[in-house]
Amino acid sequence: MNVAVVDTSLRDGMHSVAHQFTPEQVAEVAGALDRAGVSTIEVSHGDGLGGSSIQYGLAAATDHDLLEAAAGAVERASLAVLLLPGIGTLEHIQQARELGASVARVATHCTEADISEQHISWCRENGMRTVGFLMMSHMAQPAELAEQARLMESYGAHVVYAVDSAGALVPHSAAERVKALRDALECDVGFHAHNNLGCAVGNSLAALDAGAAWLDGSLRGLGAGAGNAATEVLCAALDRAGHDTGVDLFAISDAAEDVVAPMMRRPQIVDRGSLMLGYAGVYSSFLLHTERAAEKYGVDARDVLVELGRRRMVGGQEDAITEVAAEMAGRRVQEPTSVSA
């Protein structure tokens, strides 16, 4: 079976380096991925186009400069971008298309597919391979997830992904969600794994068996929390399972070892913080924010993560992290007081 492997080192991997990849580094990584035969390379701020901000993290370069660098380094691969409605706009996606991006991945929370209609429709109508991205998929039961996926397909998505943003799924629960999508859709199905429970590659293989044709990875597992399925490991496992990725295993291993590893600030491991992300079902990009808030207020980051999971916090609610940490320290975030006349 042919499998489309999408590498997200230069998008989801941005979380691991606080969005500080330079255009020169992007060109180096993109070129190595292209030479290895990866068909689709995702490039943008970790939170998608337009994500560079105080709330989500200021990037070292603009989306324009990052995409321009990647476009100049690839010869065969398609360039993809991620867009979260409410963070990125149609203007952002139009600019990305003009710079050479031909794949648009439009991401929403798993129960909010309806906010993607304008963006998915525009991308489809303007000739982009259009992907619906249902984030935090562990928070929806398979049948509900399938209903949301059908909306994205109706808007024009060529592919709809079940996205394990928190790394909270295990093989059987990943397979259940992918199967529900496969049974409900005419379009292709994809799966995006995080490794917070150490299941990223296993979940990806289970998703493939359940009907996914698109799988995501990143070199060295670079990504939020404990990272993603490592592209080089995923490709090796897929090859051993008898699937064709079109990726040269030696070349992708060299890209991971010789290009990305020296750029990493820390190893991408399942430590106690990222483990709790998966266990509590919390968005993987919350980890660094939580560690900083916990240190500031003198509390255990694991307690904060568990409470965030109990409150079912999702991407876009990063401000709540500081509030929870302050509450646990017996304080409250001080709100400005007003004086009435």
Residues identified as active-site: 15
The Cα–Cα gap between 10 and 31 comes to: 12
Phi, psi of 85 (to 5 degrees): -55, 130
Residue 307 · residue 324 · CB < 8 Å:
yes
Nearest to 303 by CA among 331, 271, 327: 327
Nearest to 19 by CA among 200, 230, 79, 50: 50
Nearest to 195 by CA among 217, 180, 176: 217
Taking the CA atoms of 72, 74, 80 and 81 in sequence, report the sign of the dihedral they define: negative
Residue 228 · residue 218 · CB < 8 Å:
yes
CA distances from 278 to 46, 59, 122, 228, 297 (A): 19, 26, 34, 12, 23
Phi, psi of 103 (to 5 degrees): -125, 125
Q: Are strands 214-217 and 188-192 parallel, antiparallel or unpaired?
A: parallel
The Cα–Cα gap between 177 and 17 comes to: 31
Q: How many CB atoms lie within 10 A of CB 79?
A: 24
Residue 107: DSSP 8-state: E
**CA dihedral of 227, 30, 249, 194, whole degrees rounded to 10:** 20
